[in-house]
Amino acid sequence: MINIDELAVFCKKKGFIYPSSEIYGGMAGFFDFGPLGVELKNNIKAAWWKAHVHDRDDVTGIDGSIITNPKVWVASGHVGSFTDALLECSKCGFKTRADHFIEDKLHMDTAGLPLKQIDEIVRHHKLKCEKCGSQFRDAEGFNLMFQTNVGPIAGSVAYLRPETAQVIFADFRQVTDTSRLKLPFGIAQVGRAFRNEISPRDFIFRCREFEQMELEYFVRPDQVHKCPYLEEFKAYELMVYSAEMQEKKQEARNMSVGEALHKGIIKTPWHAYWLAFEHAWFAGLGVRPERLRIRQHLNEEKSHYALDTWDLEYNFPFGWKEVQGMANRTDFDLKQHIRHSGKDLSLYDEDSKSKIVPQVVVEPSQGVERAFAVFMLEAYHDDKKRGNIVLKLNPRLAPFKSAVFPLVANKPELVKKAREVYSSLKPHFNIYWDQSGSVGRRYARADEIGVPACITVDFDSLEDDSVTVRSRDTTEQVRVPASILQSVLADFLSGRELNELGKAVKSG
Ligand code: GAP
């Protein structure tokens, strides 16, 4: 697997991602998505929305604003405690994120360490500023929220949201009043989030502006141990790394969802169901299961709102890291907003004829950029035999679904025929036209940006009205009548084998 810096170079070279405002020197933690990047990112979000909202009867969506009344963030606890530990050099003022600094220097796990313990470690191991070698001041909590002012009034402080989740809680009353949802149900949202990270790093893994795809799943308090959908995933295998396994320095272990629940490793069937659902979402889009695991937070690592948290982790080139957080937030957020706003956010329960505050049994919270990195790392293949990179993205995620080539560019009748083929497909798929260089070069260029199938129009096409379709992953080629090309391409993109869809031809 390539390392993360090589991925950054590749993404820039091919037009997926650039450092933001690079002509002015860029800005750490901010990125711009280029022509291919925006397509891949949109396809990731569309695939997430389809699986989490459109394909389900129990989830609806919203799109809230980035800046809200700042009281939202007081109630949620972010103003008070959304901090990372900061180490500052007493001489040159160099600042670094304490846990990452200690991890890098001492290769020890620092998840959730309190400030006092950080200071003890720094003193015990005589850790010094890496810029000037001086001592650090005592570690401090640094709030990650970006502040701004709203309107021309001084002191009208507001915040760029550090997560999309709170907007879902703040809008809970309006959503439940205007939709026909009955518990259990979920409210989903995809949108930007901002964190003033102390040290953004590892390309798009840790940025200051990113997007989240989040879902708050609400359940009646007396139903937290009853998940009607569990059966679907009981036999599903996950690599599990519980808090106990971490404490006992054991290895993560493969087990079925049923076993993890039976042994009390995963506490609620809802948590188990959503962990498997999210794992299956990644696996269904081409991520190898052996590179995914679920890891339970240690007690000291849990956020202030969480009863139990599991992360879906991916084995990145820089180690196992969180791609998705799945916390059991209980009724913490709704109750906080009830208390701070003075509004009734409870629901009337027909069965018990009483008002209840639902429990958020699980909040699958996924960063779009981290998913982007995972899909790119999984897709990237340096094919030595072909002599080019092959980006094996799942066809649903691929920026371009196909490309149309006239075999040669200097034969007007061939170009005319190829243009007809191109125009017939363009309204249905995101495709492009390429007539420059040899066909071999055009295939290589298409492989490198993940085009699942290329279509070549040749001299035989003028006689028999058929075209050659070539698979990115296998280089296999088949001959297909132009009249059925649209349905053949649709079938191929949805997973059918190319040799089932046309007459095999010798690949060249
Ligand atoms: N609402 C819960 C929440 O925001 P989180 O674990 O802080 O939980 C959820 O964030 C997800 O958002 C992470 O798993 C990650 O995918 C993404 N994320 C968080 N901080 C990020 C950052 N600085 N850069 C890129 N993605 C980030």
Model confidence pLDDT, tens digit, residues 425-467: 999 999 999 999 999 999 999 999 999 999 999 999 999 999 9
Asked if residue 440 belongs to a domain, the reply is yes
The structure tokens listed for 422 are 């191109």
Output 501-507 pairs: Cβ under 8 A, ≥24 positions apart: 501/469, 502/469, 502/478, 503/478, 503/479, 504/476, 504/477, 504/478, 504/479, 505/468, 505/477, 505/478, 505/479, 506/477, 507/470, 507/475, 507/476, 507/477
Asked if residue 149 belongs to a domain, the reply is no
CA-nearest residue, atom 14 of ligand 1: 324
**Total number of domains in the chain:** 3
Domain end: 378, 413, 441, which one?
A: 378
| Nearest atom (ligand 1) to Cα of 214 | 1
Residues 359 and 452 placed together within one structural domain of the fold = no
3-state helix, strand, coil split of the chain in percent (to 5) is: 35, 30, 35
Residues 312 and 179 placed together within one structural domain of the fold = yes
Residues 62 and 105 placed together within one structural domain of the fold = no
| Nearest atom (ligand 1) to Cα of 208 | 23
Q: What is the CATH number of the domain that holds 459?
A: 3.40.50.800
Average pLDDT over every residue of 167-183: 95
For the cut 90, the answer to whether the pLDDT of residue 102 exceeds it is: yes
Asked if residue 293 belongs to a domain, the reply is yes
Q: Which of 30, 48, 163 is the best mutation target for the ligand 1 pocket, counting ligand atoms within 8 Å of the beta carbon and taking the most? A: 163
Asked if residue 354 belongs to a domain, the reply is yes
Residues 364 and 415 placed together within one structural domain of the fold = no
Is 189 a pocket residue for ligand 1 (Cβ < 6 Å)?
Answer: no
Residues 333 and 412 placed together within one structural domain of the fold = no
| Nearest atom (ligand 1) to Cα of 311 | 14
Is 323 a pocket residue for ligand 1 (Cβ < 6 Å)?
Answer: yes
For residue 480, report the phi and psi dihedrals to the nearest 5 degrees.
-135, 135
pLDDT of residue 496: 96
Q: How far is the CA of 318 from the centre of ligand 1 (A)?
A: 17
Asked if residue 60 belongs to a domain, the reply is yes
Residues 420 and 275 placed together within one structural domain of the fold = no
Is 165 a pocket residue for ligand 1 (Cβ < 6 Å)?
Answer: yes
pLDDT of residue 409: 93
Predicted confidence (pLDDT) per residue in 343-369, tens digit: 999 999 888 899 999 999 999 999 999
Is 322 a pocket residue for ligand 1 (Cβ < 6 Å)?
Answer: yes
Is 206 a pocket residue for ligand 1 (Cβ < 6 Å)?
Answer: yes
Percent of the chain with pLDDT over 70: 100
Cα-trace Rg, the chain: 26
Q: How far is the CA of 214 from the centre of ligand 1 (A)?
A: 10
Q: How far is the CA of 486 from the centre of ligand 1 (A)?
A: 39
Q: How far is the CA of 366 from the centre of ligand 1 (A)?
A: 7
Q: How far is the CA of 246 from the centre of ligand 1 (A)?
A: 22
Instruction: Indicate the pLDDT class of residue 152, thresholds 50, 70 and 90.
Output: confident
Residues 171 and 280 placed together within one structural domain of the fold = yes
Q: What is the CATH number of the domain that holds 103?
A: 3.30.40.230
| CA 43/CA 40 separation, integer angstroms | 5
Is 325 a pocket residue for ligand 1 (Cβ < 6 Å)?
Answer: yes
Residues 210 and 354 placed together within one structural domain of the fold = yes
Average pLDDT over every residue of 390-411: 97
DSSP tally for the chain: helices H, then strands E: 17, 26
Average pLDDT over every residue of 301-318: 94
pLDDT of residue 153: 81
Ranking 63-67, 298-302, 482-486 by mean pLDDT, the lowest is 298-302
Asked if residue 311 belongs to a domain, the reply is yes
Residues 293 and 372 placed together within one structural domain of the fold = yes
Asked if residue 118 belongs to a domain, the reply is yes
Instruction: Indicate the pLDDT class of residue 192, thresholds 50, 70 and 90.
Output: very high
CA-nearest residue, atom 9 of ligand 1: 365
For the cut 70, the answer to whether the pLDDT of residue 195 exceeds it is: yes
Q: Which residues pair with 216 in a beta bridge?
A: 187
Asked if residue 254 belongs to a domain, the reply is yes
Q: Around Cβ 413, how many Cβ atoms within 10 Å?
A: 11
Residues 431 and 300 placed together within one structural domain of the fold = no
Q: Coil, strand, or helix at residue 328?
A: strand
Looking only at Cα atoms, what is the longest distance across the chain? 81
Instruction: Indicate the pLDDT class of residue 478, thresholds 50, 70 and 90.
Output: very high
For the cut 80, the answer to whether the pLDDT of residue 371 exceeds it is: yes
Average pLDDT over every residue of 322-332: 97
Average pLDDT over every residue of 138-166: 94
Domain end: 143, 167, 185, which one?
A: 143
For the cut 80, the answer to whether the pLDDT of residue 190 exceeds it is: yes
Domain end: 343, 378, 413, which one?
A: 378
| Structural domain boundaries enclosing 104 | 83-143
Average pLDDT over every residue of 319-329: 97
| Nearest atom (ligand 1) to Cα of 163 | 4
pLDDT of residue 506: 73
CA-nearest residue, atom 26 of ligand 1: 367
Residues 363 and 432 placed together within one structural domain of the fold = no
Q: What is the CATH number of the domain that holds 58?
A: 3.30.930.10
pLDDT of residue 352: 85
Residues 344 and 437 placed together within one structural domain of the fold = no
Instruction: Indicate the pLDDT class of residue 507, thresholds 50, 70 and 90.
Output: low
